[in-house]
Structure 1
Amino acid sequence: MEIRDHAKPWRTQRGVYAIEFAFVFLIIFAMLYAVICYGFLLTMRMSLQNAAEDGARAGLRYQKLLVDRTTKAHDVAVQRTDWLPTGLRLNRNVEAIICVAGADTCPPGTPPCGADWNNRCQMVVTVTVGGIEAVFPAIPSFAIPDRIAGKASMLLDGRAL
């Protein structure tokens, strides 16, 4: 018996579809994984920004002392970041600073807080989270930042002090 010519190419192509599917599946899965991970990363970044803004707004509420304003701003910003995974919650840093004259965080020559527009105070709330590579272990470290932050600042009305 002789082998027909039209049957020969079919036998040499056996399994090619499985190999093509494997390559295409790996590429599509990697792209899908990257979209999900970066979506979660952007969600965390926006959440930190909202936490900083909420903390700054909380600092605008009337308090008798500037220290009470910073404490309230800090507490609200911490409360808004409680949804983070435990590993990230341990690596978060929340700072609420009121910029007054002579403070290390303020530019030189900042006037003291007062009722005059030129003597206004500024509150800066910064929420920073580090150790993000622990949440996304499969992504190479060059592809994700090592920390993300949200920052908000508000001017305080000196008449309310």
Structure 2
Amino acid sequence: MRTTHALPSPRCQRGVYVIEFAMVFLIFFTLLYAVICYGMLFAFRLGLQNAAEDGARAALQYQSNLGARVLRAQDVAKIRSEWMPQVKLPADVSICRVEGAAGVPLCPAVSCGPAWSQRCQVHVVVEAENLGSLLPPLPGFAVPDQIAGKASMLLELR
């Protein structure tokens, strides 16, 4: 005796496509959102890093004193980061002796000179805060609230 199994009727399969679409859409949307959010964060971070590096390079240009170098670095970092939202201005710029007695940088530098023992560095930090307001976070996504670009260069004084 043969038993034949009846195929399910199309009527029984009616809502399956909607359920499959809903599951696939959630996965696809999560991946798309992650790519967009982290892509924007990487673009912001790269912009901050470029602004800090340009500010540090600007401090290498000849100025009459160390204070003028700090102001020049702040101005250039501000100009380079104007396109970014939520940037904390002015940029944090400091000129420090490379090593103190215990190997710790001395900030602010009392005196810088051409001798190796008197060498100084310029440190530039450009920060963007409150990024959570720019990127609406989904639950479970790790979006930092603050990112920073940092650069330092050895000053050549004559």
TM-score normalised by structure 2 residue count:
0.84
Could you say which structure has the higher helix fraction? 1
CA separation in 2, counterparts of 1:97 and 1:114? 16
Indicate conservation of the 8 Å contact 1:51/1:150, yes or no.
Answer: yes
Structure 1 unaligned residues grouped into runs of 5+: none
Letter of the structure 2 residue corresponding to residue 132 of structure 1: L
Q: RMSD of the alignment, in Å?
A: 2.5
CA separation in 1, counterparts of 2:25 and 2:144? 27
Assess, with a 3 A threshold, how the Cα gap between structure 1 residues 74 and 111 changes in structure 2: closer, same or farther: closer
Aligned length: 149
**Deviation of 1:124 (Å):** 0.2
CA separation in 2, counterparts of 1:27 and 1:158? 57
CA separation in 2, counterparts of 1:157 and 1:93? 24
TM-score normalised by structure 1 residue count:
0.82
Partner residue in 1 for 2:76: 76
**Deviation of 1:100 (Å):** 4.3
Indicate conservation of the 8 Å contact 1:47/1:81, yes or no.
Answer: yes
Letter of the structure 1 residue corresponding to residue 143 of structure 2: I
Structure 2 unaligned residues grouped into runs of 5+: 1-5
Show CA shifts across 1:13-33 (max 9, x none): 112012101110111011111
Using the aligned pairs only, state the percent identity. Answer: 51
- Structure 1 residues 57-66 or 142-151, which shifts more? 142-151
Letter of the structure 1 residue corresponding to residue 128 of structure 2: V
